Amino acid sequence: MSTDPDTIAFYQARAPNWVFHSGDHHSHQLDAFLDRLPPGARVLELGCGGGRDAARMRERNFAVDATDATPAIVARANQAFNLGARVMAFHELEAEAAYAGVWAHASLLHCPRAALPDVLARIHRALMPGGWHFASFKLGTGEGRDLLGRLHNFPAAAWLIGAYETAGFRVEATEMYAGKASDGTQRDLDRYHREQGMSIWTIEAVCTGTARPFHGAETSAIAKRPREGAVQVLTEGLAPDEQADRSVHGGPEMALHLYPLDHHAWWRERIGDHPALDEPGGFGSNIAVSGLNEDTVHIGDRFRLGTALIEVSQPRQPCWKIEHRFGHKGMVAAIVASGRSGWYFRVIEPGEVAAGDSLERIAIGAATWNVARVFRALVGGKATPDELAELTELSPLTPRLREKAAAKRI
């Protein structure tokens, strides 16, 4: 079952006061969520509570299907806003490709942990391709009850992201913060935007290069070219592949580079149609993939690359060679400002890979440290003292960047 009888009884008994005294405004994350959806799209709300969020959706001309597992809550919400809300428990969701969005503010946190994977799979099936899902949770170390007797799943962030990934979602954005729950307890809270999608991406090209004369006495292997057939993935990188300056590229901690293909279009708008933007390895990327970026990849995430197993180790720090390759000043500053850095992998298990193979994420690493956040902290210089302390102890991060974080603390 996806409902807890004691939790339902709590809300059933307190519905009048709970609905009319739980705040006068809709959730502040709601409008940003609705902005992601097509105008007038159909939205499912799981846990309508007082009805204010559903009323806001209707005000913005979305077709809202408001639901809650507590009959008294549904009755009071309908009384207040005439929503047409209905009683439905999470496990009763049977829709397929019916909604552009599923909104679950402060509701899925009451789903028993054992039932949550099934509920997430039901939400995934209910979404149209490319649909969006928002949920909020109270983080913890395991299922339990708050001081009001309500059941909470209290997941750890990594466990929660893994559950969503297993259900077929791709995490688009997360926000973790400390806040006081309604029982008066201070807790870490987590909010997620999740896009429907798989954790498997198609490798469009596997690219290698050789060090060539580049600028005066300098050489570079930034111009990577697609390879035909299977390529070996070894602890030092692809075989064959070269890096001209192995102090900043290559080696076991920076064995493979991925620069998102989706960034090429962003650059085209800024520097024009440079020929290198048509090349999958134009920025020195070994792996050409669309649909991944620095916000959705975390330090320590593990991927199956063909038959190899690889792990995200650090963001790429841009250097002058990018500007020289493209003939445009200001590109390094634009990378720092935008966070479009790309990242490196270390190789955990050697193997082989070819264009057309899959890149499959099989484990989430440091769930609160995506590549963008690490880049912003250590390259953009935006780290707080607490963040520097965390980065110093972030074991999947390369030793060089952990040392850099430690040095900044002094």
Q: In terms of domains, do 154 and 251 share one?
A: no
Q: In terms of domains, do 102 and 216 share one?
A: no
Domain count, the chain: 2
Q: In terms of domains, do 172 and 207 share one?
A: no
Cα–Cα distance measured from residue 62 to residue 246, given in angstroms and rounded to the nearest whole number: 54
Cα–Cα distance measured from residue 11 to residue 253, given in angstroms and rounded to the nearest whole number: 52
pLDDT score of 291 = 83
pLDDT score of 364 = 76
Q: What is the DSSP string of 59-74?
A: HTT-EEEEEES-HHHH
Q: In terms of domains, do 184 and 140 share one?
A: yes
Q: In terms of domains, do 156 and 51 share one?
A: yes
Q: Which helix (H) or strand (E) holds 24?
A: none
pLDDT score of 365 = 84
* Domain endpoint, select from 134, 165, 198: 198
Q: Which helix (H) or strand (E) holds 385?
A: helix 385-392
CATH number at residue 39: 3.40.50.150
The CA–CA distances, whole Å, from 39 to 31, 56, 58 equal 12, 14, 11
pLDDT less than 70: residues of the chain: 1-2, 16-24, 177-199, 213-217, 219, 221, 242-249
CATH number at residue 295: 2.40.33.20
- In a 3-state reduction of DSSP, which class is residue 273? coil
The answer for residues whose C-beta is within 8 angstroms of residue 28's C-beta and 6 or more apart is none
* Domain endpoint, select from 149, 166, 198: 198
pLDDT score of 188 = 52
Q: In terms of domains, do 263 and 384 share one?
A: yes
Q: In terms of domains, do 258 and 120 share one?
A: no
Q: In terms of domains, do 116 and 208 share one?
A: no
**Predicted TM-score of the model (pTM):** 0.57
Phi and psi based region of residue 284 (left: phi greater than 0; alpha: psi -120 to 50; beta: remaining): left
Q: In terms of domains, do 103 and 192 share one?
A: yes
Q: In terms of domains, do 89 and 35 share one?
A: yes
Q: In terms of domains, do 134 and 225 share one?
A: no
Q: What is the DSSP string of 337-369?
A: HH----EEEEEEE-EEE-TT-EEEEEE---TT-
Domain residue limits at 360 = 201-409
* Domain endpoint, select from 157, 176, 198: 198
pLDDT score of 216 = 65
Q: In terms of domains, do 158 and 225 share one?
A: no
